[in-house]
Amino acid sequence: MEENTKNINCAEEKIKKEINEILEKYTQTKDNLITILNEVQVKYGYIPKVAQIEISNYLNIALAEIYGVITFYSRFTLVPKGKYNVSVCLGTACFVKGSREILERAKAKLGIEEGQTTQDGKFSLDTTRCVGACGLAPVFTINDEVYGKATVKKIDEVLDMYMAKE
Partner 1 sequence: MGKTIEDIDNIRKEKRKELDLRVNINSDSIEKHILVCQGTGCTSSKSPEILENFRRLIEEKNIENVRVIKTGCFGLCSKGPIVIIRPEDTFYSMVKPEDCEEIINTHILGGKIVERLLCKELNGAVVNRLDELPFYKKQMRIALKNCGVINPEDIDEYIAFDGFKALEKVITTMSQDEVIEEISKSGLRGRGGAGFPTGKKWSFVKAENSEQKYVICNADEGDPGAFMDRSILEGDPHSVIEAMAIAGYAIGASKGFIYVRAEYPIAVKRLQIAIEQEREYGLLGKNIFGTDFSFEVEIKLGAGAFVCGEETALIESIEGKRGQPRVKPPYPAKYGLWYKPTLINNVETYANITRIILNGADWYSSIGTETSKGTKVFALGGNVNNVGLVEVPMGTTLREIIYDIGGGIPNGREFKAAQTGGPSGGCIPKEHLDTKIDYESLAQIGSMMGSGGLIVMDDTKCMVNIAKFYLDFTVSESCGKCTPCRIGTKRMLEILERMCDGNGTEEDLYKLEKLAFNIKRSAICGLGQTAPNPVISTMKYFREEYRQHVTAYECKSMECKALAKIKIDEEKCRGCDICKKVCPVGAITGEPGKVHTIDQSKCIKCRSCMQKCPFKAIGC
| SS3 state at 76 | coil
Query: In the bound complex, what is the minimum distance in angstroms from residue 86's beta carbon to partner 1?
Result: 15
Strands 84-89, 123-128: pairing is parallel
136 is a contact residue toward partner 1 (CB under 8 A): yes
Which residue, 67 or 162, has its beta carbon nearer to partner 1?
67
Stretch that binds partner 1, among 6-14, 15-23, 87-95, 116-124 (CB under 8 A): 87-95
Q: SS3 of 15, please?
A: helix
Region of 116 (left: φ > 0; alpha: ψ -120 to 50; beta: rest) is: beta
Note whether 96 and 60 are within 8 A (CB). no
Does position 67 interact with partner 1 (CB under 8 A)? The reply is no
Q: Note the residues at the interface with partner 1 (CB under 8 A).
A: 29-35, 37-38, 61, 68-69, 72-76, 90-93, 95-97, 128-137, 139, 144, 146-148
